[in-house]
């Protein structure tokens, strides 16, 4: 009853006190619930994206002796299978084609028999580059090797019988060649390193004709696979979807009783997605938990601004006979009030944020998950309220006497327990050690050993940033405390411009309130570090996602000539430069070169311009910066950059001669061209992930008698690349494939991009801004508000606004300046650690941190603005002593 009366009075007469706490609770709850929404949205998007990236969900391979028709029937009728078609695979010793008087013969090749409607049933499996999909199709690289175009004739060698001819109808790209030609049933390590180079895809009827003699004599040489699509009504969570798909695949295999093995492409994709989902959870840990902890600390700081008054109130109640139990009840009533209001406001805010940022107004992927997230967020909110109000009140009620509860300052001769034991140094040392140790192993956070069903997180490695964050926060407290307790003279000097003749008095005041001020400095620093490191991480991630897209596409717009086309440098540049929106055009040669028996891509570049035109990053190379290596290629045209794998496989040393076999543009014969190995290229625009060469374009042209360009890298003049790509497409027609970076961002983005990292960081950055403003402006403002009595006395003693300003601005400058400076240092170190720790998120790894100056200046500005506002409001209120305070004097 007393508690209710007290609460009624509090709400009526001092509503700021519980409402400020409720606001802090709301921020914490909204942050956690928003992250729940984020994870829910993310998991669902990851699953859908993983599904969308698979063309053939299952490839069920008939085992020797099995009836393909029976297998097709069983797979087609298996629950969940929406479509199934039988595809046949045969081998060929070689393909041969004669064009323009020269004959080319390939090595071992594969021939596929595709049933009618295959391209429609599995869209994306075949990408038409030229010609038509109706008829015999030839894979792009095969077309290049044989110099064939639609209409050309290819001779298929057949083991044990005479060769046969087919006419090419179209040239296709096989985007999913790796999975299409997988060895079904083999473990990941036993799969072929690369798909076959030479592939012909025949309509089923043609295949039957071509392979009839083989089928009659050696049927074991022809394999049948059932390609199946599944219903994609799967669980939102990648992990649950993975378990579902994998168990269904096993179930099918058991039903097939040894007649078929399932190549589970969908399961493989979902396996990757669940690893990414684990990364998303780690991101939550790194980006979300510190925010929630900060919200709690800021709330505690805001609540502690009214702690003196609360203690005085308690002392008054004690003198009126209130028992400890009554005081506790009163504190609990205030806690519940602030907590419930905060929780409701926080959940409401999270729903709005979720709706606007992720398009979902649910806290979890399913009902149970949503309830758990909402409940978890609510519990955290109530804990924040309890930690801010109930806990200190309980401690005071039990341990302090009436006189003690009246105390406001107290001498703080001894530091806190953790400081006496040097816990900050211990945490930082352990964090440094773990960081160093984990860095030795490349900082693998998500452990997903091949062949192991479970993925796990290396929690030990996570300790480094966690302990670093806590240790740094404590160290900031120690430093601020040190300045206030031991640095009175320099502090007085620093305060003189603000406080004038009152500087020693202001310094004394601050020194005696050093616990409160040190706590505030530490909190501002932690908030600044949170905002800084989150924004730098986000910015670096975005930059690398952009670099990844640029790496894949090569430039704003890439114009890739069709196989067999021979477009010269001058001709191509002249044609493209005429198109509106085109800024610059960089020709990039693309050839195939044999090193020993291996065929690799070779890119001929103009070393003088490619560094800028291709926006080359230093991290893509070894042995020098991008500019250095291009200078070497320019100076020594025979210099060549190779992949690290090639260096290892061929035991190369810098300066070694590398004899490659390239096709001569005139004779179409392979000719040996000598190069000198001068550096390593790990990545290059438009290059594949595995092995490739980068060489001087002029040298390659001179040695092969052809300056034909593989693709043109087009930078726009600022016009949207998608628009420019459309214009180019309309000019070049089907003679070249035109891709733009806008679409490429969507195509190459990893699952983690689907995580809506931008959505998460937008929330984080928004909360960081709110927390930074609250940690400084609100906390200082409320602190000043609670000390109106002190200011009223000073004012009654004759202090002018300017002199009162000395107190206000002195504290504000110390807390804000100290917090921001130390926070910036923390943010720098944390950003480097975060990017290093979460290196698995980045592809390619970044050269340097990308610093979002705009946002950081915005946060700094917001903090300074709220502090100024708090100070100005305080001083305006103090122009005349607060009359209610004077009436108490």
Partner 1 sequence: MSEGLPLVRCSGAARTYGKGPTATVALQATYCEVFAGQRIGLVGPSGSGKSTLLHLMAGLDDPTVGDVSWPAIGTRDELRPGRVAVIFQGPSLLPPLTVLENTSLPLVIGGMTDKDAREVAHTALRTLDLDVLADKLPEEISGGQAQRVAVARALAGEPTLILADEPTGQLDRASGAAVVEVLLGASEHAGSALLISTHDMTVAERLPERWEMHSGEIQTDTREAQWSR
Question: What residues line the site for partner 1 (CB under 8 A)?
Answer: 406-411, 501-502, 504-505, 508-509, 512-513, 790, 793-794, 796-800, 803, 880-881, 883, 886-889
**Closer to partner 1 at the Cβ: 741 or 794?**
794
Q: From the CB of 329, what's the least distance to partner 1, in Å?
A: 27
**Closer to partner 1 at the Cβ: 30 or 875?**
875
Q: From the CB of 788, what's the least distance to partner 1, in Å?
A: 13
**Closer to partner 1 at the Cβ: 409 or 453?**
409
Integer Cα distance of 655 and 324 in angstroms:
84
| Residues 531, 537, 542, 546, CA torsion sign | positive
- DSSP letter string, 309-338: HHHHHHHHHHHTT--HHHHHHHHHHHHHHH
Q: From the CB of 793, what's the least distance to partner 1, in Å?
A: 5
**Closer to partner 1 at the Cβ: 305 or 771?**
305
The backbone torsions φ and ψ at residue 156, rounded to the nearest 5 degrees and listed phi first, read: -100, 120
Integer Cα distance of 724 and 741 in angstroms:
11
Integer Cα distance of 341 and 799 in angstroms:
40
How far, CA to CA in Å, does 841 sit from each of 54, 132, 623, 668, 849?
21, 40, 25, 44, 14
How far, CA to CA in Å, does 420 sit from each of 12, 414, 424, 426, 876?
43, 8, 10, 12, 41
Question: Tokens 């706590």 identify what position?
Answer: 519
Integer Cα distance of 744 and 651 in angstroms:
36
Integer Cα distance of 71 and 259 in angstroms:
7
Q: From the CB of 511, what's the least distance to partner 1, in Å?
A: 8
Integer Cα distance of 156 and 92 in angstroms:
7
Q: From the CB of 393, what's the least distance to partner 1, in Å?
A: 19
Q: From the CB of 483, what's the least distance to partner 1, in Å?
A: 16
**Closer to partner 1 at the Cβ: 409 or 644?**
409
Token duo for residue 154: 């290819």
| Beta-sheet pairing, 223-230 with 58-62 | antiparallel
Q: From the CB of 520, what's the least distance to partner 1, in Å?
A: 15
Token duo for residue 633: 């290629």
Q: Could you tell me where the beta strands, DSSP code E, fall in 146-284?
A: 153-158, 161-173, 199-203, 223-230, 260-264
**Closer to partner 1 at the Cβ: 74 or 311?**
311
The vertex-633 CA angle with 627 and 636, nearest 5°, equals 135
**Closer to partner 1 at the Cβ: 368 or 403?**
403
Q: From the CB of 800, what's the least distance to partner 1, in Å?
A: 8
**Closer to partner 1 at the Cβ: 504 or 766?**
504
**Closer to partner 1 at the Cβ: 472 or 799?**
799
**Closer to partner 1 at the Cβ: 508 or 719?**
508
Q: From the CB of 318, what's the least distance to partner 1, in Å?
A: 16
Q: From the CB of 516, what's the least distance to partner 1, in Å?
A: 10
Question: What DSSP character marks residue 286?
Answer: I
Cis peptide leading into residue 844 (ω within 30°)? yes
Question: Tokens 């394999």 identify what position?
Answer: 223
Question: What DSSP character marks residue 845?
Answer: P
Tell me how far apart the 2 most distant CA atoms of the chain are, in Å.
114
Q: From the CB of 411, what's the least distance to partner 1, in Å?
A: 7
**Closer to partner 1 at the Cβ: 610 or 804?**
804
Integer Cα distance of 641 and 620 in angstroms:
11
| Cross-strand partners of 596 | none
Residue of 87, 80, 53 lying closest to 747 (CA atoms): 53
Q: From the CB of 18, what's the least distance to partner 1, in Å?
A: 24
Integer Cα distance of 58 and 261 in angstroms:
10
The backbone torsions φ and ψ at residue 186, rounded to the nearest 5 degrees and listed phi first, read: -85, 145
Per the CB < 8 A criterion, the answer to whether 291 and 31 are in contact is yes
**Closer to partner 1 at the Cβ: 311 or 591?**
311
């Amino acid at each position: 009853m007393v508690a209710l009366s007290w609460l009624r009075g509090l709400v009526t007469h001092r509503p700021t006190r519980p409402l400020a706490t409720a606001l802090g609770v709301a921020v914490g709850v909204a942050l956690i619930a928003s992250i729940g929404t984020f994870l829910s949205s993310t998991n669902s998007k990851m699953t859908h994206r993983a599904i969308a990236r698979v063309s053939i969900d299952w490839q069920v391979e008939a085992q020797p002796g099995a009836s393909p028709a029976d297998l097709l029937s069983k797979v087609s009728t298996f629950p969940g299978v929406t479509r199934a078609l039988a595809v046949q695979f045969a081998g060929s010793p070689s393909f041969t084609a004669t064009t323009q008087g020269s004959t080319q013969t390939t090595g071992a090749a594969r021939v596929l028999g595709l049933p009618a409607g295959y391209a429609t049933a599995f869209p994306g499996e075949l990408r038409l580059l030229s010609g038509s999909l109706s008829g015999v199709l030839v894979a792009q690289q095969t077309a290049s090797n044989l110099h064939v175009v639609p209409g050309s004739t290819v001779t298929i060698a057949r083991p044990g019988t005479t060769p046969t001819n087919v006419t090419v109808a179209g040239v296709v790209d096989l985007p999913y060649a790796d999975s299409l030609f997988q060895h079904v049933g083999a473990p990941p390590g036993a799969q072929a390193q690369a798909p076959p180079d030479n592939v012909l895809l025949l309509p089923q009827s043609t295949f039957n004709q071509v392979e009839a003699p083989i089928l009659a004599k050696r049927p074991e040489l022809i394999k049948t696979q059932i390609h199946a699509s599944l219903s994609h009504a799967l669980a939102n969570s990648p992990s649950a979807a993975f378990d579902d798909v994998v168990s269904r695949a096993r179930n099918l295999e058991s039903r097939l009783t040894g007649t078929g093995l399932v190549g589970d492409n969908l399961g493989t994709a979902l396996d990757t997605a669940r690893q990414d989902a684990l990364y998303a959870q780690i991101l939550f840990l790194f980006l979300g938990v510190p925010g929630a902890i900060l919200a709690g600390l800021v709330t505690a700081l805001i609540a502690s601004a009214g702690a003196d008054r609360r203690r005085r109130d308690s002392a008054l109640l004690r003198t009126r006979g209130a028992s400890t139990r009554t005081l506790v009840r009163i504190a609990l009533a205030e806690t519940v009030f602030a907590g419930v209001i905060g929780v409701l406001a926080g959940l409401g805010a999270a729903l709005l944020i979720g709706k606007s940022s992720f398009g979902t107004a649910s806290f979890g992927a399913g009902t149970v998950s949503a309830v758990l997230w909402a409940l978890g967020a609510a519990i955290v909110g109530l804990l924040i309220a309890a930690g801010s109000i109930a806990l200190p009140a309980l401690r005071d009620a039990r341990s302090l006497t009436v006189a003690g509860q009246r105390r406001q300052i107290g001498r703080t001769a001894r530091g806190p327990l953790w400081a006496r034991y040097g816990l900050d140094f211990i945490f930082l040392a352990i964090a440094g050690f773990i960081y160093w140790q984990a860095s030795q192993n490349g900082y693998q956070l998500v452990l997903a050993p091949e062949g192991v069903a479970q993925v796990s997180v290396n929690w030990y490695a996570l300790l480094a940033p966690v302990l670093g964050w806590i240790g740094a926060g404590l160290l900031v407290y120690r430093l601020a405390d040190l300045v206030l307790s031991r640095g009175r003279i320099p502090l007085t000097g620093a305060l003189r411009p603000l406080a004038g003749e009152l500087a020693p008095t202001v310094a004394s005041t601050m020194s005696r309130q050093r616990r409160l001020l040190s706590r505030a400095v530490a909190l501002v620093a932690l908030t600044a570090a949170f905002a800084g490191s989150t924004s730098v991480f986000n910015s670096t991630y975005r930059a690398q996602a952009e670099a990844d897209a640029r790496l894949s596409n090569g430039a704003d717009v890439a114009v890739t000539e069709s196989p067999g086309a021979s477009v010269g440098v001058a001709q191509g540049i002249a044609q493209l430069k005429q198109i509106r929106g085109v800024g610059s055009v960089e020709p990039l040669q693309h050839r195939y070169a044999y090193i020993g028996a291996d065929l690799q891509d070779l890119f001929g570049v103009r070393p003088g311009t490619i560094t800028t035109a291709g926006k080359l990053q230093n991290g893509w190379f070894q042995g020098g910066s991008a500019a250095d290596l291009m200078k070497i290629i320019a100076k020594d045209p025979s210099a060549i950059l190779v992949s690290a794998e090639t260096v290892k496989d061929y035991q190369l040393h810098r300066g070694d001669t590398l004899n490659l076999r390239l096709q001569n543009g005139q004779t179409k014969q392979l000719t040996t061209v000598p190069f000198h190995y001068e550096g390593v290229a790990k990545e290059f625009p438009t290059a594949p992930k595995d092995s490739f060469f980068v060489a001087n374009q002029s040298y390659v042209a001179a040695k092969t008698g052809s300056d034909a360009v593989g693709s043109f890298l087009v930078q726009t003049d600022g016009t949207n690349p998608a628009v420019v790509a459309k214009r180019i497409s309309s000019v070049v027609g089907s003679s070249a494939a035109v891709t733009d970076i806008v679409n490429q961002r969507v195509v190459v983005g990893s699952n983690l991009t689907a995580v809506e990292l931008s959505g998460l960081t937008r929330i984080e950055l928004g909360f960081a801004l709110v927390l930074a403003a609250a940690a400084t402006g609100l906390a200082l403002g409320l602190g000043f508000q609670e000390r109106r009595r002190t200011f009223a006395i000073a004012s009654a003693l004759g202090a002018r606004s300017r002199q009162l300003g000395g107190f206000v601005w002195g504290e504000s400058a110390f807390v804000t300046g100290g917090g921001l400076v130390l926070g910036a240092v923390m943010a720098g170190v944390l950003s480097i650690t975060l990017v290093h720790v979460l290196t698995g998120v980045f592809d390619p790894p970044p050269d340097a941190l990308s610093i979002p100056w705009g946002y950081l200046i915005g946060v700094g500005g917001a903090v300074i603005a709220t502090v100024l506002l708090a100070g100005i409001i305080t001083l305006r209120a103090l122009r005349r002593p607060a009359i209610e305070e004077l009436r108490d004097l």
